[in-house]
Structure 1
Amino acid sequence: MPLHEMLHAAATGTVHVEDGWGQGRATYGGLVAGMLVAAARKPVADAPLRSVTVSFVAPVTPGDADVETTVLRAGSRATQVQAVLRQEGQAAAVALASYGAPRESALVVPVRDSLPQLPAPESVEAMPHVPGMTPDFFAHVDLRVTEGGWPFSGSATADLSGWMRFREAPPTFGEAEMTALVDAWPPTVLQMLTEPRPSSTLTWTLELIEDLSALAPAPDTWWAYRVTTDHSADGYARTHAHVWHPDGTLVAISRQTVAVFG
């Protein structure tokens, strides 16, 4: 079952999580978050997704899963929806999605961070998918590092820039697809290590600056990505990242807390 079919199934409340999307002992977190976003959208009509925060409670494994959504509040402009993915009756991931219709405002603060000057994605070597060595889900994403390094490469920096898209473009590209794609990048601090160490995302917040339904990006769009590590100590790293459309439009801001073991 390809990505778009799993996202569609999650919106119905029942989904089979396919094998081949592994990330260590768990299913790739971006896929899990994408399914939660797809499900959370169902009870909301037209308001754009403004922010989603995901807590990865337990490893999601291949197999059947149930996704339950609850509208916590539906106001005149803003709607808050909770989505919970369960396997064998136990919560494995929880998302709080916030939707907000546009409203009149005299406050306008222009975007301060502009699209960095990056080499063309076609000129950059793709992060490889090596069965048995790299995460299984790398078979589905195309990541091109332009600044920084690959995991466990002994890099001197904990920051990273690059391009990303799916290897096989989905039929359409919206909120759930963006959610599933942005989380594909390995935690930036891992590139400073010289040998493999396990890691796990605790919480992740994705804020959408643009309404993707209005932007209507091509499914095979190359998205520019730049992530900065704000702090890392005591086995926890905190990062924030910006995502741009290639025309220079800031589309999303990603914030993440990661546990690094060993």
Structure 2
Amino acid sequence: MKFSELLDAVRDNPQSVTIPQEWSQGRACFGGLMAALLFEAMRAKVPDGRPVRSLGISFVGPPVPGAPIRFDVEVLRDGKAVSQVLGRATQNGEVMTLVQGSFGAPRDSMIAVAAEPAPSFKPVEEVADFPFVSGLMPDYLRFIGLRWALGGMPFSNTQSPAIGGYARLKDVQEEPLTEAHLLALVDAWPPATLPHLNKPAPGSSLTWTIEFVQPLPALTTHDWTQYRAVIEHARDGYGHTAAALWAPNGELIAISRQTVTVFG
């Protein structure tokens, strides 16, 4: 199933969505896809004109591909400008993913502070594709185009403080790029700690906070996004990373923070 088909599935019937094995990340469904599907279910409960400002995501358990997943949404509060929404994905009666979202209409304000520019990478045309290798890489990467432009590859024993490059969805119809697409693109990148390892070992996101700069730039699913993640601290099997995503023109799109676990 394509990404757009899974989004359609959760819009049509959020009470039962089955994610196929091809969207797996080890033994679990791809976390970025889980966040995107839960976000779609949440957005349907929010009044028009209130774009998402931030999402706090907890990956509670590993949802299994091939079994139905239920996406439930509770509107905690609809204020004059902000809606606070809680999303819960469950499988076999157990919580898999929790998302707390803040959706807010724009307000008049005298404050306007420009973001720092995007980091300087080689142009995307000069960076080679990161090839998908079945059996050696998470299955979901068959649907994501990556071009590595900063830092070492996973498990390369490279003590780099940051990783980054370019990403977009593969084999998709051209359509406006939404926050659901961005959730998949940001989480497609492996934890920035993995290049420090000298052999393969599991690693995954534990918690994830992402903030969107609204309004989103007018991009499509065929545009490349630019990503950089920096390790701020890592020890005892946990890493703390700060990341950001930019449009092709250098405009900031999203700010991301993750606590990741590393079993190595």
TM tier, smaller: over 0.9
Give % identity: 40
Counterpart in the other structure of 1:178: 182
Q: CA deviation at 1:171?
A: 4.5
Selected match of 1:155 from 154, 158, 164: 158
Alignment-derived partner of residue 192 in structure 1: 196
Give the letter aligned to residue 251 of structure 1.
I
User: What does the per-residue CA deviation read over 1:71-115, in whole Å, with 9 as the maximum and x for residues that have no partner?
Assistant: 00000100011111111111110101110100011222221x211
Equivalent pairs, count = 259
Distance 2:81 2:90 in 1: 30
Change (3 A) 1:91 1:170: farther
The residue number in structure 1 matching 2:243 is 241
The equivalent of 1:232 in structure 2 is 234
Distance across 2 between alignment mates of 1:150 and 1:128 = 12
* Separation in 2, partners of 1:169, 1:162: 20
The alignment's TM-score, normalised by the length of structure 1, stands at 0.95
In the alignment, what sits opposite 2:75? 71
Q: Is the 8 A contact 2:174 2:222 kept in 1?
A: no
Q: Report if the CA contact (8 A) 1:47-1:100 is conserved.
A: yes
The 8 Å contact of residues 81 and 104 in structure 2, kept in 1 or not, is answered as yes
Instruction: Report the secondary structure of 1:188's partner residue.
Output: coil
TM-score by length of 2: 0.94
Letter in 2 for 1:91: V
Task: Tell me, yes or no, if the aligned pair for 1:158 and 1:192 is still in contact at 8 Å.
Answer: no
Q: 2-side partners of 1:168 and 1:255: how far apart?
A: 28
Answer yes or no: is the 8 Å Cα contact 1:127–1:150 preserved in 2.
Answer: no
Residue from 49, 57, 63 that aligns with 1:46: 49
Query: Per-residue displacement from partner, 1:114-157 (whole Å, max 9, x unpaired)?
Result: 11221122321222211111110110101111110110011121
| Distance (Å, rounded) in 2 between the aligned partners of 1:101 and 1:119 | 36
Q: Is the 8 A contact 2:54 2:211 kept in 1?
A: yes
CA distance 1:102–1:36, shift in 2 (3 Å): same
What aligned pairs does 1:129-168 form with structure 2 within 5 A after superposition? Answer: 129-168=132-171
Whether the 8 Å CA contact 1:236–1:258 is kept in 2: the answer is yes
Residue segments in structure 2 that go unaligned for 5+ positions in a row: none
Q: Which runs of 5+ in 1 are unaligned?
A: none
Match among 114, 121, 126 for residue 123 of structure 1: 126
Contact kept, 8 Å, 2:2 with 2:172, in 1: the verdict is: no
1:160-213 per-position Cα deviation (integer Å, ceiling 9, x unaligned) = 12111011234432111111111000001101111011112110111001323x
For the Cα contact (< 8 Å) 1:30–1:181, is it kept in 2? yes
2:6 corresponds to: 6
